[in-house]
């Protein structure tokens, strides 16, 4: 079992590491252009900064365009090829900007931006497509199919290595139904209405919020926390209560303090009076004894 696991892990690592390494000027063949079996990343004989010029006796040439702001395989000091202007796209190879493809045309896997936007893209555009366009199974289409109409499903498994070194497969299912109000049923291949929170589900895409946990449509983890009105009321009461009790506590402490001072001052006065009384008693006693002495003389 361990052996098998190690084998799988090594096989995956081998696949991940199998990107081309030929630098500019090296020999290559476009016949070996392919998508990685685990990541579905575009791979060729050439390195990430170059593309292969031809099918036979090709040469690796520096890429002339990029599709990402921060493209893969470039260091901070490397010169970046330019992004493509509007209406064009940079293919996975990075050889040149090309015009966007219209519906029915060929596109590269998961590259929705290679398809031209739909005329009514404002109605069908959302985070799951590019201006209403999709690239499913290598063909450009619009995400405009309504309830009960046949739809197209593109299901892909991406494999990654988890924390424990074991392979984890992530299945991504995409379809051309109008999202998020409908999804493509995998058995019937027909668009169906998406399910709302709390409904029974089997897969994420069946739910309107695209999150199915233990068979129930649930809010996705990134949903912002909503505070109910009664929670606002309780919080306000608690804050006001805390403020009032702090004020009362301060008043009580202040009063006690004043009381102690008052007692101290009173004691001081009493002491002063006693002192005065005793001095006067001393004086009168002295005067009396002086009078007696004079009488004796
Ligand atoms: C490719 O290169 C080989 C040897 O360098 C040569 O024999 C062959 O004719 C070349 N093929 C083409 C299509 O240029
Ligand atoms: C979706 O778009 C395609 C291509 O423009 C069009 O042929 C089709 O009628 C549209 N479907 C719906 C339901 O609007």
**Residue extents of the structural domains in the chain:** 1-68
- Pocket test of ligand 1: the residue of 28, 53, 56, 59 to mutate, having most ligand atoms within 8 Å of its CB, is 56
* Closest of 229, 202, 141, 219 to residue 177, by C-alpha: 141
pLDDT at residue number 13: 43
| 125, 74 Cβ separation under 8 angstroms | no
Beta carbon of 44 within 6 Å of any ligand 2 atom: no
pLDDT at residue number 296: 66
Beta carbon of 153 within 6 Å of any ligand 2 atom: no
Q: How far apart are CA 252 and CA 256, in angstroms?
A: 6
- Pocket test of ligand 2: the residue of 119, 144, 152 to mutate, having most ligand atoms within 8 Å of its CB, is 144
- Name which residue sits closest to atom 10 of ligand 2, judged by CA: 144
pLDDT digit string (tens) for 68-117? 999 988 999 999 999 999 999 999 999 999 999 999 999 999 999 999 99
| 211, 223 Cβ separation under 8 angstroms | no
Alpha helix stretches (DSSP H) within the chain: 2-17, 121-124, 229-296
Q: What is the pTM of this model?
A: 0.67
Atom of ligand 1 nearest to the CA of 56: 13
pLDDT at residue number 16: 46
Shortest-distance ligand to the CA of residue 123: 2
pLDDT at residue number 184: 94
Give the rounded distance of the alpha carbon of 294 from its chain centre. Answer: 108
Q: How far apart are CA 155 and CA 137, in angstroms?
A: 9
Atom of ligand 2 nearest to the CA of 145: 13
Neighbour tally for 224: CB within 10 Å: 6
DSSP E strands, the chain = 27-28, 34-35, 42-43, 50-52, 58-62, 88-89, 98-99, 133-136, 139-142, 153-161, 167-175, 182-184, 191-193, 212-213, 216-217
Q: Which residues line ligand 1 (CB under 6 A)?
A: 56-57
pLDDT at residue number 297: 64
- In the chain, which residues have pLDDT < 50? 1-17
pLDDT at residue number 180: 86
């Amino acid at each position: 079992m361990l052996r098998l696991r190690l084998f799988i892990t090594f096989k995956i690592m081998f696949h991940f590491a199998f990107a081309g390494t030929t630098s500019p000027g090296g020999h290559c063949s476009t016949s070996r252009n392919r998508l990685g079996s685990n990541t579905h990343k575009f791979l060729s004989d050439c390195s990430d900064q170059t593309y292969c010029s031809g099918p036979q006796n090709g040469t690796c040439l520096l890429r002339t365009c990029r599709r990402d702001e921060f493209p893969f395989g470039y260091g901070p000091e490397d010169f970046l090829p330019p992004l493509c202007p509007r209406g064009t796209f940079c293919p996975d190879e990075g050889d040149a900007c090309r015009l966007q493809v219209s519906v029915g045309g060929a596109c590269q896997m998961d590259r929705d931006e290679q398809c031209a936007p739909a005329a009514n893209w404002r109605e069908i555009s959302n985070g799951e497509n590019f201006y209403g366009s999709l690239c499913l199974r290598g063909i450009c289409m619009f995400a405009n199919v309504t309830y009960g109409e046949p739809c197209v499903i593109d299901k892909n498994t991406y494999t990654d290595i988890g924390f424990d070194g074991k392979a984890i497969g992530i299945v991504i299912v995409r379809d051309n139904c109008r999202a998020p109000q409908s999804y493509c049923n995998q058995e019937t291949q027909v668009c169906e209405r998406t399910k709302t929170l709390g409904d029974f589900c089997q897969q994420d895409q069946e739910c309107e919020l695209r999150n199915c946990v233990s068979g129930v449509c649930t809010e996705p983890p990134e949903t912002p926390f909503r505070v109910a009105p009664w929670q606002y009321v309780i919080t306000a009461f608690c804050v006001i209560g805390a403020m009032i009790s702090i004020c009362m506590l301060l008043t009580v402490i202040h009063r006690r303090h004043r009381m102690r001072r008052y007692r101290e001052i009173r004691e001081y006065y009493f002491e002063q009076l006693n002192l005065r009384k005793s001095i006067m008693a001393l004086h009168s006693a002295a005067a009396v004894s002086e009078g007696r002495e004079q009488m004796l003389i």
